[in-house]
Amino acid sequence: DSDGQVVEPVLLAGTKGSLGYLAGITAYYNYASQWSIATGLWFRYQAIRTERLALAGEGTSSVRYRSIRLPILFNYRSSEHTLSPFNSFGPMIDIPLSARIVASRAGESTQQLRLDSESGPVFNFMLGAGGIYQVNSQIALTGQPTVTYRLGRLGGARTNFRTFELGLQMQAIYTF
């Protein structure tokens, strides 16, 4: 959908850089003394930016992706000390929402194009290793660097554009 603008091809070739964020809620269930399972509902935003090809003229193109992420994470806490290691792993499912392309060209107007969301969920797998700080009996803080591998779509749908995401996950946990 071009929002009424004349559309030219937008190629995402060359060096790419990406920044984004996740925000949402997560529920934990402790099923053993050191193990828990977590699931939640997160909003994900990611912007991929690349320089335009020389043939297309000077400028940049960026794609702004949005999705709802559903994690199913297994967590391991090695001790009950105030400060202890905290590790997480598990699958995550992204449900894509519409995306937007912004193409900026020297001497031309900026194009803003809305992309319809692609059908079907996108599957990911995350690993995280960090720590948990138990503030008191009800409040804990976690922090862990994470790496997420995008597996892609399954069931005959496209599975290209496999990538890694590096992140820093910070959480405040309230136990009741």
Secondary structure (H, E, C), 102-145: EEEECCCCCEEEEECCCCCCEEEEEEEEEEEEECCCCEEEEEEE
% of the chain with per-residue pLDDT over 70: 81
At 42-99, the pLDDT tens digits run: 999 988 877 776 666 677 778 888 999 999 999 999 998 999 999 999 999 999 988 8
By C-alpha distance, which of 83, 90, 68 is closest to 143?
A: 83
Q: Is 70 exceeded by the pLDDT of residue 5?
A: no
Phi and psi of 55, rounded to 5°? -60, -30
